[in-house]
């Protein structure tokens, strides 16, 4: 029986790009997704890009029986765990939904993995676990847990569960990848970020303004202690992020126990830097208005990703221009996302 990589949330933005890179690298992949924030259209397009069929199952991690059935059907060597709710604002309005979906879903997954002798996992964590930076750039030793919203807390709590699990049972090998801000899309323009409703993140919003779906961008705050007064973040091309998962998969082969890595570029760009870069890539003006700061937003946040470079032999290679060009290709070819 072939050994497969199970990708939970594999029809989503980062998941689908990672599935492409896994298949291109010769891995057999099975996708699980409950399709709350995703569409199976993304998997159809992954199949077009790779020329391979991708077994996909519409299963919710809260459905323990369906999950057990999936593990009976396939042999898995490792799990890449992307599945989870991820909208910061929504998590503040619906905290119980976030805790139940993200925490209980993960516990179900870990229990079923253990029952089936699968002890290798790569977990999709987030730089939100760092909270407000005490120092910059953020390295993996920076204090964690000062999360400003329930979404970030779910990532922090899951990290703690996984660390405790590895301490209790040395059969487990788990890598926690703390993402900074993924942007861009596959160079084909066939897959990309397809937010439902109003985008929560800056760049999909900018792209929708450029394509004429939205009138203007709202910039929250111009009085931060940054070069131009707008918030600074570390933006990473989604394909670089996907390749970071492949590097982590190789690390699991070393029986590495529990490891934590930042995946970012180490460079910070302001909101207005991003707007200018996208205007250049799209050839379209991006009208914007400045309003007051948002509660909970921080001035600057960017990574020290040298640990991933040293231990995983991975580094983000794609430039800001490439992020914007690839995002514009996706947005102009798919003005309504996968709809």
**Would you state the pLDDT for residue 298?**
87
Other C-beta atoms within 10 Å of 57: how many?
A: 17
Residue 99: closest CA among 79, 81, 85, 113: 85
Count of Cβ atoms closer than 10 Å to residue 1 Cβ = 5
Q: What is the pLDDT of residues 162-207, one digit of tens each?
A: 999 999 999 999 999 999 999 999 999 999 999 888 898 999 999 9
Say how far apart CA 235 and CA 319 lie, in whole Å: 10
Q: Is 260 helix (H, G, I), strand (E, B) or coil?
A: strand
Pairing outcome for strands 232-233 and 269-270: antiparallel
Kindly report, residue by residue over 138-165, the tens digit of the pLDDT.
999 999 998 988 999 999 999 999 999 9
The pLDDT tens digits for 257-296 are 999 999 999 999 999 999 999 999 999 999 999 999 987 7
Give the pLDDT score at 216. Answer: 97
Mark whether 151 is an active-site residue: yes
Range with lowest mean pLDDT among 1-5, 103-107, 233-237, 245-249: 1-5
Topology given in CATH for the domain delimited by 3-183+235-264:
Rossmann fold (3.40.50)
Mean pLDDT, the chain, integer: 96
Measure the CA–CA gap between 68 and 199, rounded to whole angstroms.
Answer: 34
Question: Which of 13, 98, 130, 151 is flagged as catalytic?
Answer: 151
6 band by pLDDT with thresholds 50, 70 and 90: very high
Question: Torsion angle, CA of 269/275/281/283, rounded to 10 degrees?
Answer: -160
Whether 1 has a pLDDT exceeding 70, the answer reads no
Q: What is the pLDDT of residue 196?
A: 82
For residue 200, what pLDDT is reported? 84
Question: Is the pLDDT confidence value at 2 over 90?
Answer: no
Query: How far does the chain reach from its first CA to its final CA, in angstroms?
Result: 36
Could you read off the pLDDT of 219-239 as tens digits, one per residue? Answer: 999 999 999 999 999 999 999
Q: Is the pLDDT of residue 84 over 90?
A: yes
Q: Looking at residues 79-88, what average pLDDT do you find? A: 94
- Convert the pLDDT of each residue in 9-59 to its tens digit: 999 999 999 999 999 999 999 999 999 989 999 999 999 999 999 999 999
Domain edges within the chain = 3-183+235-264
Would you state the pLDDT for residue 198? 86
């Amino acid at each position: 029986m072939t050994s497969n990589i199970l990708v939970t949330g594999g029809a989503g933005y980062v998941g689908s790009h990672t599935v492409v890179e896994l298949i291109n690298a010769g891995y057999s992949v099975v996708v699980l997704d409950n399709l709350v924030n995703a569409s199976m259209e993304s998997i159809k397009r992954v199949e077009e890009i790779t020329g391979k069929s991708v077994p996909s199952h519409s299963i919710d991690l809260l459905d323990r029986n369906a999950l057990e059935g999936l593990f009976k059907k396939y042999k898995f060597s490792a799990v890449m765990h992307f599945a989870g709710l991820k909208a910061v604002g929504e998590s503040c309005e619906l905290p119980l939904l976030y805790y139940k979906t993200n925490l209980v879903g993960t516990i179900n997954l870990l229990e079923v993995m253990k029952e089936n002798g699968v002890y290798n996992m790569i977990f999709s964590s987030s730089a939100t676990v760092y909270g407000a930076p005490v120092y910059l750039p953020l390295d993996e030793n920076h204090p964690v847990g000062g999360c400003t919203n329930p979404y970030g807390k779910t990532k922090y709590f899951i990290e703690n569960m996984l660390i405790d699990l590895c301490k209790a049972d040395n059969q487990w090998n788990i890598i926690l990848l703390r993402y900074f801000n993924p942007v861009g899309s596959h160079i084909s323009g066939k897959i990309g970020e397809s937010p439902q409703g109003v985008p929560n993140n800056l760049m999909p919003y900018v792209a929708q303004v450029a394509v004429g779906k939205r009138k203007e961008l709202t910039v929250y705050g111009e009085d931060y202690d940054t070069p131009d007064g707008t918030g600074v973040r570390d933006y990473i091309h989604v394909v670089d992020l996907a390749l970071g998962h492949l590097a982590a998969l190789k690390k699991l082969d070393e029986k590495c126990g529990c490891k934590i890595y930042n995946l970012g570029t180490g460079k910070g760009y302001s909101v207005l830097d991003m707007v200018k870069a996208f205007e250049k890539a799209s050839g379209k003006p991006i009208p914007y208005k400045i309003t007051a700061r948002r509660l909970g937003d921080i001035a600057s946040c960017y990574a020290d990703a040298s640990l991933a470079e040293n231990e995983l032999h991975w580094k983000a290679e794609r430039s800001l221009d490439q992020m914007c060009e690839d995002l514009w290709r996706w947005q102009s070819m798919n003005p309504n996302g996968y709809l």
